[in-house]
Amino acid sequence: MSNNISERWYRTRRRNVDEKIEEGKLLSDKRKEYVSPLKNYVLSITPIAFKEDNRYWAYTVGKVYKKLKNKTGELVCTIFRNSEKFPFAFFEGQEDGHDYLIGGEDYQGQTVIQLDTKERYDFIGEKAKREMEFCWQKFHQSPNNKILAVEGHARNKPTEMAEYRSIRFFKFEDILALPYEELGNRISFHYDEAIGWEDDSHFLVSVIEDRRKDDLKRVKDLTKKERMKCLEDNNFGRRNIVYRVPISGGEEDIKEVYSEWLPT
pLDDT at site 232 = 96
Q: Cα 13 to chain center, whole Å?
A: 23
The proportion of the chain whose per-residue pLDDT surpasses 90, expressed as a percent, equals: 91
Write down the pLDDT at residue 204: 98
**Cα–Cα distance measured from residue 16 to residue 11, given in angstroms and rounded to the nearest whole number:** 9
Consecutive 10-residue averages of pLDDT for the chain (264 residues): 94 96 96 96 97 93 92 92 98 97 98 98 96 96 98 87 90 97 95 97 97 96 96 96 93 94 91
**Tell me, which fold does domain 8-188 have in CATH?**
Lipocalin (2.40.128)
- Give strand pairing partners of 239: 209, 261
pLDDT at 162: 74
Q: CA-CA distance, 186 to 197, in Å (whole number)?
A: 14
Domain with CATH 2.40.128 in the chain: 8-188
3-state per-residue secondary structure call for the chain: CCCCCCCHHHHHHHHHHHHHHHHCEECHHHCEEEECCCCCEEEEEEEEEEEECCEEEEEEEEEEEEECCCCEEEEEEEEEECCCCCCCEEECCCCCCCCEEEECCCCCEEEEEECCCCEEEEEECHHHHHCCCCEEEEEEECCCCCEEEEEEEECCCCCCCCCEEEEEEEECCCCCCCCCCEEEEEECCCCCEEEEEEECCEEEEEEEEEEECCCCCEHHHCCHHHHHHHHHCCCEEEEEEEEEEECCCCHHHCEEEEEEECCC
pTM, two decimals, is 0.93
Predicted local distance difference test score (pLDDT) of residue 163: 84
Spatial separation of the C-alpha atoms in residues 254 and 71, rounded to whole Å: 48
The number of C-alpha atoms within 13 Å of 235 and in the hemisphere containing its C-beta is: 16
Length of the chain: 264
pLDDT of residue 157: 82
